[in-house]
Amino acid sequence: MRKPGSMKGLEDLGRVRLSKNFFFRDFLHSEIADFYRIPNIPEDPDLAIETGRRLCEELLEPLEATFGRLHIRSGYRSPEVNAFGNKNGLNCSTNPHTAAHHIWDMRDLDGCMGSAVCIVVPWLIDHHAHEGDWQKLAWWIHDHLPYASLCFFPKLWAFNIQWHERPMRTIQSFVSPRGMLTKPGMVNWEGDHSALYEGFPKLRS
């Protein structure tokens, strides 16, 4: 697919079905793009679709099947949108660090592809509202899904979840306790963590 050059072309991209419940249009909204009038359109739609499908099929579909509807906060970012956000202090990293993350159609510095989305799980907010409860979902995902990285934020316990063809499986947070929850080499990275999320629903595929 060529980069959309018209509203019709953008409509066609938006209708691309990435998985059972998700279409590309679900991931195109951006407050930065809307407010500053920067088109949030992939330069390489085919790569964006390929990585988006892996993200949806392997991570988002199991999450939605298990916990109910997901709220998408920030999905795909074009290089132009992300660069503007980084330059103007709008919570965006540099393009090289965001490639194969929010920039789905840009490979990272190692030539690998990946994609990420920031989501909220309403089920978590409704059932686990105490300080630190975000860790329960983090460990559940760690034990059940082939994620590449997770990063949790204070508001609504939103978090970035990434699919990547070479997953590092790291979990970090800007919520208390801040910092790295786990990564390869840490004692807590391996093993069964089910005691840390007791009462959570079983994985539904």
pTM of the predicted model over 0.85: yes
Sort residue 15 into left (φ over 0), alpha (ψ -120 to 50) or beta. alpha
The pLDDT tens digits of the residues spanning 100-114 come to 999 999 999 999 999
Q: Do residues 147 and 167 touch, judged by C-beta distance below 8 A?
A: yes
Q: Do residues 67 and 201 touch, judged by C-beta distance below 8 A?
A: yes
pLDDT for the residue 205: 81
pLDDT for the residue 158: 97
The pLDDT tens digits of the residues spanning 2-28 come to 899 999 999 999 999 999 999 999 999
